[in-house]
Chain A
């Protein structure tokens, strides 16, 4: 009987681990794409700033022209996207990914795990992208300038000078987010993914409450391992200050 419980819980936690690992593998690079989007400086209406026109005498039109000249469509769209993803509950996003393709496009989402993975990857990529952006923007301008005066290309400055410093700076906040992800995987149960807590609840119907509480140990143990790995990584990167 006891072995049966442990086996069921392990199988459930396997689902959590799949969600965790696939989300990390996909969201870490996807976050970079979103970061480049939100930091995009492409301003197609920049030329407006150079147009000499009498409209500028009018305060309203002057504001409109300034707005147009500064308008960065890629950055704008990306930031709205990040706002929506960070501004709504992940639980709701799980339902949206599960049902909306069927309702709008007539292609029902058949696999619940796939739906959960899509929701998790998009959600976490959005969070990661903001951490990356913070890291990139925290690098002093002088580092880029030093690269420039040494005749480096932009790519060389990015990969030889900036990237490593960004990685060092984002490891602590990324660690935080990664540990949150481990626990968030249990949200997938709302769309019927048989993760560990859902599996344990079956036993409560038989009058067994112990298995449900014991699920905490699985999360604790796994997060313990992650914490050790993350602090090892932090130590490794700590050979210099600044």
Chain B
């Protein structure tokens, strides 16, 4: 059974139609990359899946449960909505770490707040908190940040900040990770350290959607690629199909322009 099913998503900003009917589904453990030129709607699609935007039409089903229906959207801030929200991990282009907290505190904040809603919180407070701290440290260790627990975001490089942000999203144990151009704000040299961490998350079997301009990375990591153009899915297939034998002329044009400029837009 598909873990994620996106059906008939439409989204308008004012009079501009950004998404004009998006349908796709994903299997558990699948890595899907969304590519396409700026303005094609790929970021809006990702934001609609994680409720940062409310789609005008369409439905989203996660693990067999209808989590979004544009005809009958859940109330923002409701317990149900937040519970669904935390099943999606989201990584922003601009990291959006909380500047007043250390790396470790950034990772622990949401799990600690969520733990307060547990029934056994008062009884086992100490154990729960220690467990959260252990998990957070383990995540940071795996991202190569074991010496940065107590550094503030302003003391970290962009690549390190983004790795903390990935740990922060993983700390809630999401079902699906969504990456919104995770390396677009980074220098080419440090892009790799972030891509390596994303790759290691994929290797653990995490289902993920990556919006990216890193064509080589998309090619290597993805089970499937979606090429978006003007608010629709113009082409969909395995990395090989999309990159080496594109059917749509727009895809061909896009891929060619990338191989000429070396992968950066």
Contact = CB atoms under 8 A, between A and B. Distances in A.
A146 interface: yes
Contact of B52 (A145, A151, A160, A241): A145
B82 A151 contact: yes
Interface in A142-158: 142-143, 145-146, 148-154, 156
Nearest to A161: B98
Interface residues of A, number: 22
Contact of A242 (B90, B113, B154): B154
B109 A151 contact: no
A153 B77 contact: yes
Interface string A180-205: 00000000000000000000000000
A149 B85 contact: yes
Contacts of A164: 100
A1 to B, nearest CB: 56
Contacts of A241: 99, 152, 154
Contacts of A140: 96
A61 to B, nearest CB: 19
A150 to B, nearest CB: 4
Interface residues of B, number: 28
B135 to A, nearest CB: 15
Contacts of B153: 240, 242
Interface in B89-119: 89-90, 92, 94, 96-100, 109-110, 113-114
B27 interface: no
A60 interface: no
B96 A145 contact: yes
B51 interface: yes
Given A142-B92, A145-B96, A240-B153, A160 B82 contact: no
B63 interface: no
Contacts of A215: none
Contact of A160 (B89, B109, B168): B109
Contacts of A149: 50, 52, 85, 88-90, 169
Residue from the set B89, B94, B98, B113 with the largest chain A CB neighbour count within 10 Å: B98
Given A146-B92, A240-B154, A151 B114 contact: yes
Contact of A240 (B52, B99, B169, B172): B99
B71 to A, nearest CB: 15
B183 interface: no
Nearest to A156: B113
Contacts of B203: none
A150 B99 contact: no
Nearest to B90: A149
Given A142-B92, A164-B100, A148 B110 contact: no
Contact of A152 (B50, B52, B89, B110): B110
A47 interface: no
A144 to B, nearest CB: 9
A41 to B, nearest CB: 13
Interface string B67-85: 0000000000100001101
B89 to A, nearest CB: 8
19 contacts: A142-B92, A142-B96, A145-B92, A146-B96, A149-B50, A149-B52, A150-B168, A151-B82, A151-B85, A151-B86, A151-B114, A153-B77, A153-B82, A160-B109, A161-B98, A240-B152, A241-B99, A242-B99, A242-B153
Given A151-B86, A160-B113, A241-B154, 9 more contacts: A142-B94, A143-B98, A146-B96, A146-B97, A152-B113, A161-B98, A168-B100, A240-B100, A241-B99
- The 10 nearest A-B residue pairs measured at CB: A151-B86, A150-B110, A142-B96, A149-B90, A146-B96, A241-B154, A242-B99, A240-B152, A151-B82, A151-B85
Interface of A: 140, 142-143, 145-146, 148-154, 156, 160-161, 164-165, 168, 239-242
